[in-house]
Copies of this chain bind each other. A is one copy, B any other.
Amino acid sequence: MYRTHTCGELRSTHIQQTVTLAGWVQTVRKFGAITFVDLRDRYGITQLLIGEELNILLDQNPLGREFVIQATGMVSERSNKNPNMPTGDIEIAVQNFTILNKSAVPPFTIQDDTDGGDDLRMKYRYLDLRRNTLKKNMELRYAVNRAARNYLHQKQFIDIETPFLIKSTPEGARDFVVPSRMNPGEFYALPQSPQTFKQLLMVSGYDRYYQVVKCFRDEDLRADRQPEFTQIDCEMAFIQQDDILEMFEGMIKSIFKEVRNIDYTEPVERMSWEDAMWTYGIDKPDIRFGMKLANLKFPAHAFLNKESAFKEDMFSIPALGGGGAETILAIAVPGCSEYSRKQTDELTEWVKRPQIGMKGLVFIKCNADGTYKSTVDKFYNPEIIKSIADAAGAEKGDLVLILAGAEERTRKAMSDLRLEMGKKLGLRKENEFKLLWVLDFPLFEYDEEGNRWVARHHPFTSPKPSDIETMINHDPQIANAAEYLKHPYANIKANAYDMVLNGNEIGGGSIRIFQRDLQEKMFAALGMSKEEQQHKFGFLLGAFEYGAPPHGGIAFGFDRLCAILGGSEGIRDFIAFPKNNSGRDVMLDAPSSIDETQLKELQIKLNLQ
């Protein structure tokens, strides 16, 4: 061992002990004949004092930033204590030191506020990982991993490894594939998730399974997506939806406690997908704050149990693109009635950006004196203005924002605007955590191009028990594309659930189909022929013939969960060696070309277009 102690553990109780430390030179400061060195390792920083008598040694072995050294000396009381450092009471009076390895000058400073840009930091990731910020992230990630495992272990879950070289069954996202040398012309796929394997494990009787596991998706990368990512993947048998919800809100609460020392004691709110979309405009609402959407007009989209605030189409506002808007939505922003013209103009510009894509924004200022001032005063009498403000739940001093347009886009825009206003007003507090279950998603989505149904979640998700009959008894064919919403399948709800944390989906899952006939009906509804079903999922259909138990599960996005718990919006700095937005590892310079002999052995060749 090159050390007797770490750089984080010496205290005044160690004074007079002779110790050996090893680590990296953080700083070198010379005061006359004396040199102070801050020595850093994973555990902290300890001050070394190199006295005059070692000046010759120091001259022969000059120290620089990030040099790796070993130093032996006596723990001494500091004359000038530093209360901000755990080791601030002591220093090491160095008797001898050795340079274990030198360092070139790093391309950026190894400090909390580094001067390194993103590209440089990615290229020298091994140096970036030395920074305290990233170290804390890696430690947090490990703590989350450990907390999840401990909770699941205690609940009798068992970690069973599933294979990485599996079969390509393109459904949804694109598979990464791996050519097989031993089976020329054939390919393995890397798993997008262990979905079918965990279901098979339920059929095998392992009624509580988990895995913290890498998954792979060959998608065009958006910011903050990675081609390989980690899931906390779980499955249970002999359970219903409520059992899953209870078990896994327990897990997340346990992680909160272990990792952030947060006692999340209140029950987790549950909301139907329809309520979430209606009230927040999104299926993963941030419920740390209100500002709920007022639906001023009944939308074309299928909200079955909803009523809009106004029966009639009362709006025909040029600023919103004229009359006949499919959807009109309002929110009341608290305490913003005195926004200046500049501020409201900025908001208007904001909603007009291409990412939001609205034509304009209507304001109603609810003045402190009870009067209203609106950008559409000239079109409507004050009673109507007031009734809109009331519908939005506005109080004196609030600012009502109104958007109108096509259903989907307007709802999305209003959700974005709500989040933006929440952020502006400081309502999205970094240290507040609000969990939410979103339930009862539609089982199918309509695919306009193919005039057919696609699975919203995946083809293994069961309909709600009450909808199973509907699914079995109706033909999935859509006779009239224009009226697809009237097809019975449009209203089938999935026995599925998402866990949302502060407006982020951190986990999702479902109760699975476990009956062969229902699974075949599902595959058929998605347009899969019998032959295709057998080719792709014959093993699963087969397994369902030999006593498959009722089961369901959930998978958590581990990278995202860690980022949120770490108070960050980006996942990249919670992954030790991430890839950039082109899927490249710029440190390794991967992917890269491979040898002709490798291609030949695999019996493939390039076919560049």
Contact = CB atoms under 8 A, between A and B. Distances in A.
A18 to B, nearest CB: 18
A126 interface: yes
A67 interface: yes
A41 B203 CA distance: 11
A166 B588 contact: yes
A590 B206 contact: no
A33 interface: no
Contacts of A1: 238-240, 243
A183 interface: yes
A130 B204 CA distance: 5
B592 A168 contact: yes
B126 A203 contact: yes
A164 B584 CA distance: 12
Nearest to A595: B170
Interface string A153-193: 10000111111111110100011111111111111111000
B41 A174 contact: no
A162 B593 contact: no
A435 interface: no
A138 B167 contact: no
Most buried by B among A239, A546, A599: A546
A30 interface: no
B549 A100 contact: yes
Contacts of A66: 546-547
A589 B540 CA distance: 12
A158 B187 contact: no
A546 B104 contact: yes
B575 A186 contact: no
Contact of A184 (B139, B588, B608): B608
Contact of A605 (B153, B158, B604): B604
A170 B585 contact: no
B547 A101 contact: yes
B582 A129 contact: no
Interface string A547-579: 111100000000000000000000000011101
Most buried by B among A103, A177, A548, A605: A177
A544 to B, nearest CB: 8
A271 interface: no
A415 interface: no
A592 B42 contact: no
Interface stretch (A81-89, A142-150, A465-473): A142-150
B549 A214 contact: no
A476 B207 CA distance: 58
Interface in A59-74: 66-68
A95 interface: no
Contacts of A24: 205, 547, 549
Given A163-B228, A545-B104, A594-B187, A608 B603 contact: yes
A341 B48 CA distance: 78
Contacts of A127: 204, 546
Contacts of A135: 205-206
A280 interface: no
A168 B178 CA distance: 13
Most buried by B among A106, A125, A180: A180
B22 A591 contact: no
A260 B595 CA distance: 47
Interface residues of A, number: 123
B183 A174 contact: no
Contacts of A542: 124
A346 interface: no
Contact of A604 (B166, B216, B607): B607
A607 B598 contact: no
A100 B102 CA distance: 68
Interface in A477-525: 514-515
Contacts of A587: 539
Given A142-B160, A164-B228, A607 B605 contact: yes
A176 to B, nearest CB: 5
A184 B176 CA distance: 13
A583 interface: yes
Nearest to A514: B101
Contacts of A205: 24, 40-42, 129-130, 135
A200 B588 CA distance: 11
Contact of A583 (B103, B130, B183, B575): B183
Interface of A: 1-3, 22, 24, 40-42, 66-68, 100-104, 106, 124-127, 129-130, 135, 138-139, 141-142, 145-146, 149, 153, 158-168, 170, 174-190, 197, 200-201, 203-207, 214, 216, 218, 220-221, 227-228, 230, 238-240, 243, 514-515, 538-539, 542-550, 575-577, 579, 582-585, 587-595, 598-609
15 contacts: A22-B549, A41-B207, A101-B548, A129-B201, A141-B160, A165-B583, A166-B588, A167-B585, A174-B598, A175-B598, A178-B591, A182-B218, A182-B221, A184-B606, A188-B591
Given A126-B543, A214-B214, 19 more contacts: A67-B547, A68-B548, A129-B201, A138-B158, A142-B158, A149-B149, A164-B164, A164-B216, A166-B585, A175-B598, A176-B178, A177-B178, A180-B583, A182-B221, A187-B592, A188-B591, A200-B577, A539-B588, A603-B607
- In order of increasing CB-CB distance, the 5 nearest A-B pairs are A167-B590, A103-B547, A129-B204, A186-B591, A2-B238
